[in-house]
Amino acid sequence: MAAGLAAAALSASSLALAQKPARVLRIGHQKGWLSLLKSRGTLEKRLAPLGASVNWTEFNAGPVQLEALNVGSIDFGDVGEAPPIFAQAAGAPLVYAGATVPRPRLEAIILPKTSPIRTVAELRGKKIALNKGSNVHYFLVKLLEKNGLKYGDVQPVFLAPPDARAAFERGAVDAWVIWDPFLAAAQKALDARLLADATGLANNRQYYFTSRDFATKNAGILRVAIQEINAIDTWVSKNKAAAATELSAVLGLDIGVTELYVSRAAYGTAPITREILAEQQAIADTFFELKLIPKKLNLLHAAPVDLS
């Protein structure tokens, strides 16, 4: 009888184990580097021994991903510098899981090819198109400061990239502050002239975010995710021609555009550090001073558990 009870207990235990929900990493992503990771399936293979699977959802912009995190629809995503700051100002429970190396050459201020403007100082009083509250918003403020101008010395024209390009083409603005691949597309298709990129002014990192709750319970899964993203970065850095071709298909852009984009990017992704959070703090402070966010933030608590 004891043997029968033991067998029954073992059977019940096995049933409970079988019924235990599998862990799932729900990734939100935009078309780009994470698309390359998705196509390879290497993250799924790495997570399988941990009893975890991956679910992918594509979004058209970072803020939409952050809203999905806020309502519990995803666990992990990619975003630029600015959107998470606005999300945190609104009380979103996000924390930073990882970040790329600095990529300042991927954002710049450009001019029409016939523009007489030759220096940043000559932008005084000019109309400058930009996406409000984006990574380039911070870059523009720092660029003007470096060249003896104040933010109030120019006329910001807040437009999303497609509308900004249209305004730039028809001469409705004097300059456009934009990021890749829109930047590369404007240079290739419109022969736009680059006035200055963000080198020495803004690091323009890509960030990977999660929630505090997911990070606390799934540090191992996040560690693997950051490692696999870094592996894609490493591959691209050594195979730029192939990466440009693959990215061209993903983004639906001419190969010349993605070749330029890939050629000036910098590669490498690692877990977040307090030093990197300090960079985000500087951006948050600037946005608060510009009254773009309603309250001052303290971002030094926004790193998850140790993923190193």
Whether the CB-CB separation of 30 and 78 falls below 8 Å is answered with yes
The residues, ordered by sequence, that sit 6+ positions from 260 with a Cβ below 8 Å of its Cβ are: 180, 184, 187, 188
Pairing of the two strands 175-179 and 23-29? unpaired
Q: How far is CA 78 from the centre of its chain?
A: 5
- Domain 24-103+205-301 matches domain 105-197 at the CATH topology level: yes
pLDDT of residue 108: 97
Question: DSSP assignment, residue 31?
Answer: S
Q: Which CATH class is domain 24-103+205-301?
A: alpha beta
276 token code pair: 């990197």
- To which CATH superfamily is domain 105-197 assigned? Periplasmic binding protein-like II (3.40.190.10)
CA atoms of 130 and 148, how far apart (whole Å)? 20
pLDDT of residue 20: 46
Question: DSSP assignment, residue 180?
Answer: T
Indicate the pTM of the whole model: 0.86
CA atoms lying within 13 Å on the CB side of residue 75:
20
pLDDT of residue 204: 95
Domain limits, the chain: 24-103+205-301, 105-197
Query: Would you write out the chain's pLDDT as a tens digit for each of its 308 residues?
Result: 444 544 444 444 444 444 444 789 999 998 888 999 999 999 999 999 999 999 999 987 778 888 898 888 999 999 889 889 988 998 888 889 999 999 999 999 999 999 999 999 999 999 999 988 788 999 999 999 999 999 999 999 999 999 999 999 999 999 999 999 999 999 999 999 999 999 999 999 999 999 989 999 999 999 999 999 999 999 999 999 999 999 999 999 999 999 999 999 999 999 988 899 999 999 999 989 988 889 999 887 766 666 76
86 token code pair: 């606005």
Whether the CB-CB separation of 82 and 203 falls below 8 Å is answered with no
